[in-house]
Amino acid sequence: MQDLAWAISLWLMALLAIAFVYVAVKSGDKADAAEVMSTAGKIRTALFWIILVAGVPITMVTLTDLPYAAQSDATAQIVKVEGSQFSWDISPTRIVTGQPVEFHVTAADATHGFAVYDDTMTLLTQTQAMPEYTNILKYTFAKAGTYKVLCLEYCGSGHHVMSEEITVVAAGGN
Amino acid sequence: MENVISKGAKQSVLGYLATAGVVLLLLMVFGLVMRTVQAGGAEIPAEIFYQLMTAHGIGMVGIAGICGAAIMWYFLGHYVKLSTPVFLLNMVLFLIGVVMILGAIFIGGFAGAWTFLYPLPAYSGGAWEPGAAVVHLSGVLLIGVGFLLFHLDTGWAILKQYGSLGKALGWPQLFGGSTEEAPPPTVVAATMVLIVNVLGLLAGATILVISIVNLLVPEFGIDPLLGKNMIFFFGHVFINATIYMSVIAVYEILPRYTGRPWKSTKPFLLAWTCSTLFVVIVYPHHLLMDINMPTWLAVMGQVISYLSGLPILVVTAVGALTYVHRSGLKWGMPASLLFLAVFGWAAGVIPAIVDGTIVVNLVLHNTQWVPGHFHTYLLLGVVPMAMGFMYFITNNDGGGLDRAALWAFIVGGLGFVFTFLWAGRESVPRRFAEHQSEWMDVDALGAIFAALAILGVVVFAVRFLSRLGQTAKA
């Protein structure tokens, strides 16, 4: 997902840059303003419709599978998580692959950010850890291994040391 | 009919800009120090890093507001009668607030970030006393009060001149079929900013007072999710308002170079009316990882994020391109910086919209992608808008040194924001005082590009300050 976000952003920003550079290069020429405005009006209308026509299906597709837990899964592994300055209390820290996990995430003091990273330090999923609230975050681990939990909401002078590990074992294994 | 700006009013604007130029440079250096520390090029205690981070964040937001206010007030004053004493009062309250904030941070040790996310000010983890947090939040509140007075004055002047906010937004021309000439773009933009920023400032003042009371009487508290909503509503609206105020420089100055006046056409009026609504209701896109928020609000946050891009990309960016294209433009520094600024604003919107997609936000929220996109439209948008205005008001089209500084700023600025975006792609968290070794190469590159961008701004600011005396007398 991160690669896709990067590629889309880069390409669209590059297209925009090309338009600006092109206009800057052509700015020294002198043309009738009304003629330029008329052409620009057509381009603007076309751009509006292109964005709208592309935007509607993109919106629909991206909203079909939201990471918000609609209802609790009876088969899920429940992992209780509490963030506090400046550590995580996670129980249990050993879970199995292939079976949905429900992280029940809260905080004891300020707001923290519960974020799960894989062994390549790629961010997999996250939710806010808030006092007085329990956020239920669903995730299914496909691979066994050691996963890292970092805090992604600034919470004070030890924010960057809030780190913990989760061990994921293969289903049926020890 | 345009009014003539008085000498005193112009000097007040110059005072705003001089303050902004000096403070901006100082805060950019704070930013460079942070990137250098993350890159392993220097060592400072984590407490100091977070103090710098807090000062950099709140300071930049405040300075962006000051730049925007100066630009908007200067040009709006050509169409309506504004109060110079109120304008100066805003600056006085701002400076008092800045002293309080700096004292709270660097003497009191407050490091609750510019977002002062409730209830963090009350949970220092031993880094600061509640008194420091009270002074800091009171300083922010004072600055907010100054801006509220500033907007009430612009609102009063607009209402006296145009009769209603709807008329000042050009609604009779947009919806009523009126054939009268619509208000100029500056008035339309100032009216939009008035509406959204008064709402934002009221929400901000409310949560600031609540946080201060919470610090003084810990038994008093509010729902933290409600507090978070109020903070992000205020923060989102205020920082966006700084751009909407600053873009007035583009509408007013660029046409003087292109010879094509920027008109309040129907698409323009529609874009600003839509933006008025969008800026107010889009803030839930900051809370997409708060699973307890109603899902419909998160969905609205994504949809409105997408729609918010339309007025900026389709109207302002295309508008700037249209007015410049084959206009016979001679590129002076004001025109160059303002053209760059429109690009920076529009370009920054793209990664912001991408991050406003819920399933993407899941893996980019609070990574360095976020400072990546907001630095794009602040560093490459608001800063060149302010600098372009500085060159304009000092009547300076620039020379070889200025053009060299501009290129340093463009290369440095673009490189800097792309290192942030790249780091976001690599899942590097934002706001970390210490970085893992595998993240440091990109950090180092970011620091080098930041230094280059700062070099450009040093030239812009020095050129402005060196002409300040003669401009003030003129």
Q: How far apart are CA A16 and CA B313, in angstroms?
A: 9
- The band of B3, judged by pLDDT with boundaries at 50, 70 and 90, is low
Q: Do B343 and A20 touch (CB under 8 A)?
A: yes
Reduced to 3 states (helix: H, G, I; strand: E, B; else coil), residue A144 is: coil
Percent of chain B with pLDDT strictly greater than 90: 89
Q: Classify residue B244 as exposed, middle or buried by CB count within 10 Å of its CB (0-12, 13-18, 19+).
A: buried
Query: B426 to chain A: nearest residue by CA?
Result: A122
Q: Do A157 and B321 touch (CB under 8 A)?
A: no
Rounded mean pLDDT of A46-68?
89
- The band of B315, judged by pLDDT with boundaries at 50, 70 and 90, is confident
Mean of pLDDT over chain A: 92
Q: How close is the nearest chain A Cα to the Cα of B430, in Å?
A: 7
User: pTM higher than 0.90 for the full model?
Assistant: yes
Q: What is the pLDDT of residue B403?
A: 96
Q: What is the pLDDT of residue B174?
A: 93
Question: Among B306, B360, B429, whose Cβ lies nearest the Cβ of A152?
Answer: B429
Residues with Cβ within 8 Å of B353's Cβ and at least 6 positions away in sequence, in order, are: B305, B306, B308, B309
- Residues in chain A with CB shorter than 8 Å from the CB of B346 are 16
Half-sphere exposure of B99 toward its Cβ, with a 13 Å CA cutoff?
Answer: 5
Q: How close is the nearest chain B Cα to the Cα of A27, in Å?
A: 4
Rounded mean pLDDT of B457-467?
95
- Reply yes or no on whether the pLDDT at B278 is more than 70: yes
- Reply yes or no on whether the pLDDT at A34 is more than 70: yes
Measured between CB atoms, does B226 come within 8 Å of chain A? Answer: no
- Residues in chain B with CB shorter than 8 Å from the CB of A131 are 119, 224
ipTM, 2 dp: 0.93
Residues B336-351: pLDDT tens digits?
Answer: 999 999 999 999 999 9
- The band of B177, judged by pLDDT with boundaries at 50, 70 and 90, is confident
- Residues in chain A with CB shorter than 8 Å from the CB of B431 are 154, 159
Q: What is the pLDDT of residue B2?
A: 58
Q: Do A132 and B302 touch (CB under 8 A)?
A: no
Rounded mean pLDDT of B196-203?
97
**Is the CB of residue B395 less than 8 Å from the CB of residue B471?**
yes
- Residues in chain B with CB shorter than 8 Å from the CB of A19 are 321
**Is the CB of residue B217 less than 8 Å from the CB of residue B134?**
no
Q: What is the pLDDT of residue A174?
A: 52
**DSSP-assigned letters across all residues of B360-383:** HHHHHTTBTHHHHHHHHHIIIIIH
Query: A70 to chain B: nearest residue by CA?
Result: B295
- The band of B429, judged by pLDDT with boundaries at 50, 70 and 90, is very high
Measured between CB atoms, does B274 come within 8 Å of chain A? Answer: no
Q: What is the pLDDT of residue B126?
A: 87
Q: How far apart are CA B13 and CA B87, in angstroms?
A: 9
Question: Among B317, B327, B427, whose Cβ lies nearest the Cβ of A2?
Answer: B427
- Reply yes or no on whether the pLDDT at A70 is more than 70: no
Q: Do A1 and B362 touch (CB under 8 A)?
A: yes
Tokens 């060159």 sit at which residue? B391
Distances (CA, A) of B98 to B30, B165, B386: 16, 32, 20
Which of A67-76, B147-156, B191-200 is predicted with the least confidence, judged by mean pLDDT? Answer: A67-76
Q: Do B317 and A133 touch (CB under 8 A)?
A: no
- The band of B330, judged by pLDDT with boundaries at 50, 70 and 90, is confident
- Residues in chain B with CB shorter than 8 Å from the CB of A154 are 50, 113, 115, 117, 120, 431
Q: Which of B263, B305, B314 would you mutate first to test chain A, the one with the most A CBs within 10 A?
A: B314
Q: How close is the nearest chain A Cα to the Cα of B362, in Å?
A: 6
Q: How close is the nearest chain A Cα to the Cα of B207, in Å?
A: 16
Query: B52 to chain A: nearest residue by CA?
Result: A157
Q: How far apart are CA A133 and CA B26, in angstroms?
A: 39
Residues A94-148: pLDDT tens digits?
Answer: 899 999 999 999 999 999 999 999 999 999 999 999 999 999 999 999 999 999 9
Rounded mean pLDDT of B125-143?
95
Q: What is the pLDDT of residue B25?
A: 96
